[in-house]
Amino acid sequence: MAVRSAAALDAVLSDVDHVVVDLTARAYDGVAAIALAHAAGRPVLAVGQHDDAPLRRRALAAGADRVHPYRQLFEDGPRQLAMWLAEDRAVESPT
């Protein structure tokens, strides 16, 4: 499900298990969206420009589990997303 504002994200957080945030979206502040999802206990994967290291660091500091450049998800998205989702399940599963 796609949302395009912080209010819309807040409204659906109870209905989703994971959140993917576009750091360069114009309709919302990506770092604030990460913080909102992280505070709700949702794993967050962020995607943004490869050359914006300060923004990637801010995303991680706000609670993103991973931050991928657009190109990495374009070239290897299904595998990267599957690894992220499996990683989260492994943390939740009792050992």
Number of domains in the chain: 1
In a domain, 55, yes or no: yes
DSSP letters, 1-47, are ----SHHHHHHHGGG-S-EEEETT-SSS-HHHHHHHHHHTT--EEEE
Tell which wins on pLDDT, 91 or 87.
Answer: 87
Residue 9: per-residue pLDDT = 94
CA 71/CA 77 separation, integer angstroms: 9
- Model pTM score: 0.87
Instruction: Kindly report, residue by residue over 2-32, the tens digit of the pLDDT.
Output: 999 989 999 999 999 999 999 999 999 999 9
Q: What is the largest CA-CA distance in the chain?
A: 42
Q: Pairing between strand 44-48 and 66-69? A: parallel
Q: Which domain holds residue 21?
A: 6-92
Give a yes or no: residue 26 inside a domain. Answer: yes
Q: What is the domain-level CATH number for residue 59?
A: 3.40.50.2300
- For residue 1, is it within any domain? no
